[in-house]
Amino acid sequence: ELGNLRAAYEWARASDGDLEVAVTLASCAAALDDFGAECVDWLLALRPQVECDGLDREVRARYWRAVAASTMNGRISRALQADAAKRAAALYRELDKPRRIYSALIQLAKHRTARGEIEAARRATDEARALERPQWPAMLRTHLLRLDGHMERAAGAFENAIAIFRETVRLSALTEDWQLE
């Protein structure tokens, strides 16, 4: 269906198209691992229109979350990804969407960690942890655990990191998380 996706995007980007549809298509396509190289061009081309604030907040939040997504790592600068995660979290706060805020904060912490900004990463993980609910899917909750493990490893606390990674594997195994396969 990638041909149809491309055609829909081209229509939406045309002068008589629909900007919100273009932004939504690009944002949703960003999650497709095999499409990231092409999608990054779409996301970056749309940035000026998204920054003008004329779009629906939900559409803008989805856009910024897509720019911050791990599928864009190495394709978009970590600085822009961190900024995008911060913007997504702020918009999702306005929209009162705790799971989306949580997800954006985890992305922010990942980008801060990659940039060596460990204290800023910890602030983001602390905020995410305060939002986390036990009834949320384990796959969502393990993202924070994995990040905790990486931050402990980066800080040289290898035993703590190993314990956290073991808990992540335990939780994933209990729920038959596909990421273990």
Q: Which residues of 46-55 are buried (b: 16+ CB within 10 A; e: fewer)?
A: beebbeeeeb
pLDDT (tens digit, 9 = 90+) per residue, 145-175?
Answer: 999 998 888 889 999 999 999 998 888 887 7
pLDDT (tens digit, 9 = 90+) per residue, 109-128?
Answer: 999 988 989 899 999 999 99
Q: What is the mean pLDDT of each run of 10 residues along the chain (181 residues)?
A: 89 93 93 81 94 90 94 89 97 97 95 90 94 86 89 90 93 66 43
Q: Which residues of 115-132 are buried (b: 16+ CB within 10 A; e: fewer)?
A: eebeebbbebbeebeeee
